Every structure is written in C-alpha cells, then in structure tokens.
Amino acid sequence: MSFLRRNGSEEILIVLNLSNRDTHVRIDLPVMEYSSLENLLAGGKTSFQLYSGRVSADLSAFQAIVGRRIPLAPLDRIQ
C-alpha cells in the first residue's frame, strides 16, 4: 500500500509492505521529483530506482518507508 500526502510544497510518501514476505514494489509518481526521500522512520536517505515513469524499491516483510521528498537542485546550479 502506498500514498502521498501534500501540504503546500512539502510532500510525504508512505509505502507499506503489509505482508509477511519480502516484496518489490513499483509506484507511479512524477519520476524526476522522487529520486530521494529523507527517511523519517530510520533517518538518512532512501533512494528509489527510476524507470519507465515509475519508482521502485525492495521492502522486507512488514517494512514501511515514510519519507519527505528531497527537492532536486536545479540543473543550472549543478557544477
């Protein structure tokens, strides 16, 4: 199960594996805006694989990802 919550410019993505098995998930989201999340449960950064207009991730049994989108830097600012 997954869902996205927005409040102004802040976006929180929640991805839940409610099964007792490891699973690979694919979620349709605006790809270029979701390469990384600040993981609010475990700290650090969670990155997604990007392909064909979707993000994907591997989740362990009963694992949850709750993350705040990390805005991408504009391309003209990258050196």
- What confidence score (pLDDT) does residue 18 get? 96
pLDDT of residue 53: 61
Q: Tell me the pTM.
A: 0.73
End-to-end CA distance of the chain: give it in Å, rounded.
Answer: 38
The matching CATH number, chosen from 2.60.40.1180, 3.40.390.10, 1.20.140.10, 3.40.50.10330, for 2-72 is 2.60.40.1180
* Model pLDDT, residue 47: 73
| Spatial strand order in the sheet of 49-51 | 23-28, 54-59, 49-51
Domain spans, the chain = 2-72
- The pLDDT of residue 23 is 95
36-60: buried (b, 16+ CB within 10 Å) or exposed (e) per residue?
Answer: ebeeeeeeeebebeeeeeebebebe
Residue ranges of the chain with per-residue pLDDT less than 50: 78
Contacts of 69 (CB under 8 A, 6+ apart): 10, 11, 12, 13, 33, 34, 36, 37, 38
Residue 31: per-residue pLDDT: 52
The predicted pLDDT at position 44 comes to 80
